[in-house]
Amino acid sequence: QAELGKPQRNCYTLPGLDFSYGLYIRRTDGGVPEAIGHWNTVKPRIISAQKMPRDFITMNRGALKAGYTTAHEFNLYYKAKDIRRKDDEHSCFKRSPPKVPADFTYGITSRPCTPFFDLLQHKYKELWMEQQRALTAAKRVEKKKVIMKDKVRETRTTFLRKHPLPAKEESFWHLPRLEKV
């Protein structure tokens, strides 16, 4: 029974001082002499040859070369020639990795240092001004093109009004038989 006026204890009593915690495993807990005398190595597990997934790309190519066109014919071809994908260990990348130079570094290159001499000479300002001048010149040319498009084109009638044809000299009419006279 719980003691009167005190909370009930919800823990276990601990064993004495001669108790050692943990599990005793006979074959591995032999101390230093056993660790020095025996090499307990882990034996490799034999992995059963797992079935690689089907290589449908190669099978479809072969079926088309054989002249099959319908789904039923394709299924029959799949059953007849079951081509599996090759293992990744035999891939061309693992057999011969890409050749890169010895001093090649992967990743993003670091930004080059800011040239202080260019800052002192205001070179960036000059480059910006040059770009602005080129932009305004390009806009000016574009504006001229737009104005040229808006101009009314001359037709033959308006051209003849501005530049009339020279007047023909009037010649008197003669009888055709008297022309040679």
Give the model confidence (pLDDT) of 1-13 as tens digits: 667 777 777 777 8
Residue % of the chain over a pLDDT of 70:
80
Give the model confidence (pLDDT) of 69-106 as tens digits: 999 999 999 999 988 887 765 555 566 667 888 888 78
Nearest-angstrom CA–CA distance, 60 and 73: 11
Name residues whose C-beta falls within 8 Å of residue 172's C-beta, 6 or more positions apart in sequence: none
Nearest to 84 by CA among 49, 48, 115, 124: 49
Nearest to 82 by CA among 51, 55, 121: 55
Hey, is 40 helix, strand or coil?
coil
Residue % of the chain over a pLDDT of 90:
22
Give the model confidence (pLDDT) of 26-50 as tens digits: 666 666 776 677 666 677 777 666 6
Asked if residue 171 has pLDDT above 60, the reply is yes
Residue 84 forms beta bridges with which residues?
54
